[in-house]
C-alpha cells in the first residue's frame, strides 16, 4: 500500500514515486527486512568503545554491498545511555579507498549529562571495513562510539 508524504507547503508525494536503486520507497516501507548484526560493542566501565578513536577500524565477515542499506547505531557514555541511529543507503559508495573520494560520513550527538556536542566522522573501505577518521570525544567515561552496525536486506514480496 502506498503512503502519502506531506511537505510543509501542503504538497503531497506518493511513496511509490520515490525510487532508489530500482527499489521504490513504497516497497521499502511495506516489506520486511532481513537484518544481520555485523558489529556489536558496548564497552564495560573503564573501557573505550572499539570504534571510537581516530584510526580505529573494524572488518566485517562478508561484504557491505550485500545489503540494501546499513543501520549505524552510535552511543555515548559507558553502557550507551545516549543513542543515535543513522541509515546509510549509498551501498555503491561502500568500499571507497579513502576519505579523499568524498565518502566521509558524520555523526553529531550530545553527550550524556553534559553541555557538549560530540562529532565523529567515519568512512567505509575495501567494501568490508569501517574506519573512524575523526572523533571529538573518544576517551574517558563519556565518549562517542559506534556501538552496532546492522546490514539490512529487503525481503521480496
User: What is the secondary structure of 131-148 as a DSSP string?
Assistant: EEEEES--SSSS-EEEEE
Q: Give me the sign of the Cα torsion angle 100, 106, 112, 115.
A: positive
Question: Measured in whole angstroms, how far is the alpha carbon of residue 91 from the centre of its chain?
Answer: 12
Give per-residue pLDDT as tens, 91-122.
Answer: 555 544 455 554 778 888 877 666 778 888 88
Average of per-residue pLDDT across 51-55: 86
- What is the SS3 assignment for 69? strand
Domain limits, the chain? 1-30, 32-154
Q: Write down the residue that cell numbers 567505509 correspond to.
A: 124
> What's the pTM?
0.69
pLDDT tens track for 63-95: 887 888 888 888 876 555 677 888 777 555 554
CA distances from residue 115 to 37, 79, 110, 112 in whole angstroms, order as listed: 32, 19, 7, 8
Amino acid at each position: 500500500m502506498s503512503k502519502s508524504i506531506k511537505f510543509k507547503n501542503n504538497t503531497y508525494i506518493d511513496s511509490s514515486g520515490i525510487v532508489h536503486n530500482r527499489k521504490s520507497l513504497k516497497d521499502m516501507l511495506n516489506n520486511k527486512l532481513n537484518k544481520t548484526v555485523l558489529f556489536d560493542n558496548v564497552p564495560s566501565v573503564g573501557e573505550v568503545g572499539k570504534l571510537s578513536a581516530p584510526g580505529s577500524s573494524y572488518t566485517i565477515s562478508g561484504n557491505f554491498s550485500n545489503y540494501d542499506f546499513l543501520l549505524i547505531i552510535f552511543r555515548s557514555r559507558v553502557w550507551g545511555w545516549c543513542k543515535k541511529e543513522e541509515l546509510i543507503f549509498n551501498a555503491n559508495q561502500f568500499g571507497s579507498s579513502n576519505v579523499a573520494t568524498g565518502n566521509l560520513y558524520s555523526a553529531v550527538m550530545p553527550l550524556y549529562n553534559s553541555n557538549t556536542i560530540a562529532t565523529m566522522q567515519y568512512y567505509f573501505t575495501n567494501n568490508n571495513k569501517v574506519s573512524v577518521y575523526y572523533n571529538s570525544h573518544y576517551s574517558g567515561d563519556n565518549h562517542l562510539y559506534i556501538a552496532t552496525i546492522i546490514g539490512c536486506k529487503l525481503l521480496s514480496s
